[in-house]
Amino acid sequence: MVKFYQHTSSFEHAWDNVTYAFWLRYPNPFASHVVGCDVIDRQVDPESGVLRTTRLILKQGVLPRWGRGLIKNPDAYIIEESVVDPKTQTMVTRTKNLNHVRVMQVEETQTFTVHPENPKWTQVKTEARIISELRWGLTGRVEAFGINKFMDNSVKARKGMAHILERLRQNAALAGTPVAAAAAGSPDC
What CATH code is carried by the domain that includes residue 33?
Answer: 3.30.530.20
pLDDT value, residue 64: 82
| Mean pLDDT in order along the chain per 10 residues (189 residues) | 94 96 94 96 98 98 83 94 98 98 96 98 98 87 93 96 94 64 50
The answer to the question of residue 73 being in a domain is: yes
The answer to the question of residue 82 being in a domain is: yes
pLDDT value, residue 186: 46
Full residue range of the structural domain in which residue 158 is found = 2-171
CB 106 within 8 A of CB 94: no
The answer to the question of residue 61 being in a domain is: yes
The answer to the question of residue 188 being in a domain is: no
Domain count, the chain: 1
pLDDT value, residue 104: 94
The answer to the question of residue 142 being in a domain is: yes
Task: Give exposure, 69-102, as e/b (b: 16+ Cβ within 10 Å).
Answer: ebbeeeebebebebebeeeebbbebebbbeebee
pLDDT value, residue 135: 81
Query: Which helix (DSSP H) or strand (DSSP E) does residue 50 occupy?
Result: none
The answer to the question of residue 183 being in a domain is: no
The answer to the question of residue 15 being in a domain is: yes
Find the DSSP H helices in the chain. 15-24, 139-173, 178-183
Cα atoms in the Cβ-side hemisphere of radius 13 Å centred on 63: 16
pLDDT value, residue 183: 46
